[in-house]
Amino acid sequence: MLRLPKFEVRTPESLDAALALLAEFGPDARVIAGGTDLVPNMKHELVTPRIVVSLARIPELRGVGDAGAGWLRLGAMTSLADVAADARVRAQAPALAQAAGLVAGPQLRTMGTLGGNVLLDTRCQWYNQTYFWREALGFCLKKDGTLCHVVEGGSKCVAAASNDTAPALMTLRAELVFVGPQGRRVTPIDDLWLADGAANKKCASDELLVEVRLPPTGPGHRGAYGKLRERASIDFPLLGVATRIELDARGTITDADVVLTALQARPVRVKRAAELLLGVRAEGDAFLAAARAVADQAHRQAHPMPNIPGDAEWRRAMVPVYVRRTLEAAARGAGPVHAV
Ligand SMILES: Cc1cc2nc3c(=O)[nH]c(=O)nc-3n(C[C@H](O)[C@H](O)[C@H](O)COP(=O)(O)OP(=O)(O)OC[C@H]3O[C@@H](n4cnc5c(N)ncnc54)[C@H](O)[C@@H]3O)c2cc1C
Ligand code: SF4
């Protein structure tokens, strides 16, 4: 049985009090939301905070609401189950509702939060292991070591971004609201990422993610999420595909976007997706041909690493299959796409 190292829990009741604790304890403190990733990582001694600052008692961090001018605000502490079930999210951002509904299993979606999912650490099967296991193999670049077990001679960690909601939020052009010692900042989710598996987000340890904002979408908005995983019940993605299509009144595509995850340290946007789909009606042979062209482009861009479960070549072969199916699902107003 894995035991948790000793730590203290603080439960501030306001954002200011939480920020004050992070400032007081600096690198000894760590934010906890649902704890569904942080607690296993503490058991594995990947992170060893002395003070854990819980956001559970800060009411303004929860819930879905109107942010004005058609924007939706989703509090960072809103559970993934609530995001998946919310009627406004399902109508305005179907790809996000589907992605949230496919994270892990029901218990973890009840505890796990949207903010924790956006800020989820990257994953690697040589890193997400016990201290004993890592010590026996030899530590790696991401923690305590000097080499990478995945890329021989590599000088940068390539652990995989594995958060299901991130690609969906990227297709939706979501914005993130952070608060920190310098005040409040709003950043497009596209600007959050760094291509470094050891620290793949531009977010300081004394900052808090307060909310995720979704811009308005019209009646022609379609979105879907596709997820490849070992078991249909609980696993992290071996591949995640988020798609967005915008249609005019005649059903012709006016804009599109496709973002992939679980391939690299950051989610990857498929190049030329909008160009390849623009002006095509979202049905019939012309649409299928355009969706195949986007799938081929995704295949050219995808180079999965052998650092998460599943043979890397097989995962690469699944990229065009999942891109095409997820685009077709979006066009039909359906989804999600996943193996059962
Ligand atoms: C068996 C299992 C299966 C899983 N499967 C999946 C899966 O399929 N897909 C997937 O995406 N995830 C999966 N997860 C991971 C996890 O359950 C989810 O990503 C969940 O959304 C994490 O949210 P949380 O609230 O529990 O985050 P926590 O564990 O509390 O926090 C995660 C990280 O974010 C930081 N953080 C959290 N909230 C904030 C905030 N508001 N401001 C600043 N920092 C913050 C924490 O300090 C920590 O570093 C799985 C986990 C397990 C144990
Ligand atoms: S990709 Fe390499 S450096 Fe990064 S966690 Fe895995 S083994 Fe460690």
Domain-embedded: residue 309: yes
Helix (H, G, I), strand (E, B) or coil at 67: strand
Q: Mean pLDDT, the chain, as a whole number? A: 97
**CATH number of residue 320's parent domain:** 3.30.390.50
Rg value, the chain, Cα: 20
Q: How far is CA 300 from CA 135, 205, 270, in A?
A: 37, 36, 10
User: Is the CB of 160 inside a 6 Å radius of any atom of ligand 2?
Assistant: no
Structure tokens given for 300: 């050219």
Percent of the chain exceeding pLDDT 90 equals 97
Note whether 265 and 244 are within 8 A (CB). Answer: no
Ligand 1: residue whose CA is nearest its atom 15: 37
The verdict on the CB of residue 126 being under 6 Å from ligand 2 is: yes
Pairing of strands 51-54, 8-10: parallel
> Quick one: which of 159, 193, 176, 172 has its CA closest to 267?
193
Ligand 2 atom with least separation from CA of 156: 3
Which of the ligands is closest to the CA of residue 41?
Answer: 1
Q: What is residue 101's predicted lDDT score, i.e. its pLDDT?
A: 98
What is the extent of the structural domain holding 259? 221-333
Is there a domain that residue 297 lies in?
Answer: yes
Q: Considering the domain boundaries, does residue 143 fall inside one?
A: no
Residue 48 has pLDDT above 80, yes or no: yes
Closest ligand to C-alpha of residue 196 is 2
Ligand 1: which atom is nearest the Cα of residue 207? 43
Structure confidence at residue 8 (pLDDT): 98
pLDDT tens readout for residues 250-276: 999 999 999 999 999 999 999 999 999
Overall domain count for the chain:
1
Q: What pLDDT is stored for residue 44 in this prediction?
A: 97
Q: Is residue 202, in this structure, part of any structural domain at all?
A: no
**Residue 33 and residue 173: Cα distance in Å, rounded?**
24
Ligand 2 contacts CB of residue 134 (under 6 A): no
Spatial contact of 229 and 339, defined as CB atoms under 8 Å apart: yes
- Examine residue 244 and state whether it is found in any structural domain, yes or no: yes
Using CA atoms in the order 221, 82, 39, 182, what is the torsion angle rounded to 10 degrees?
70
- What atom of ligand 1 comes closest to residue 111's alpha carbon? 26
The answer to whether the CB of 158 is under 6 A from ligand 2 is yes
* Residue at 276 is within a domain: yes
C-alpha dist (Å) from residue 108 to 95, 105, 162, 163, 183:
19, 6, 15, 13, 32
User: CA-CA distances (angstroms) from residue 152 to 161, 189, 306?
Assistant: 20, 31, 12
Output the pLDDT for position 69. Answer: 97
Distance of alpha carbon 186 from alpha carbon 171, whole angstroms: 17
Give the ligand at the shortest distance from the Cα of 156: 2
Q: Assess whether pLDDT exceeds 70 at residue 340.
A: no
> Prior bond to 5 cis, omega within 30?
no
Ligand showing the shortest atom-to-Cα distance for residue 51: 1
Model confidence at 305: pLDDT above 70: yes
Cα-flanking dihedrals φ and ψ of residue 159, to 5°? Answer: -55, 145
CB-ligand 2 contact for 197 (6 Å cutoff): yes
Give rounded-to-5 percent helix, strand, coil for the chain.
Answer: 35, 25, 40
Is residue 1 pLDDT above 90, yes or no?
A: no
Task: State what percent of residues in the chain have pLDDT above 70.
Answer: 100
pLDDT tens per residue, range 30-44: 999 999 999 999 999
Q: Is residue 65 part of a domain?
A: no
For residue 119, is pLDDT > 90? yes
Span 195-222, pLDDT tens digits:
999 999 999 999 999 999 999 999 999 9
> What are the tens digits of pLDDT across the range 68-97?
999 999 999 999 999 999 999 999 999 999
In a domain, 319, yes or no: yes
Cα atoms in the Cβ-side hemisphere of radius 13 Å centred on 185: 13
Q: Is the pLDDT of residue 304 over 70?
A: yes
Q: What's the pLDDT score for residue 233?
A: 82
* CA separation for the pair 319, 263 (Å, rounded): 10
Q: How confident is the model at residue 230 (pLDDT cuts 50, 70, 90)?
A: confident
Interhelix angle for 284-301 vs 312-331, to 10°?
Answer: 150
84 CB near ligand 2 (under 6 Å): no
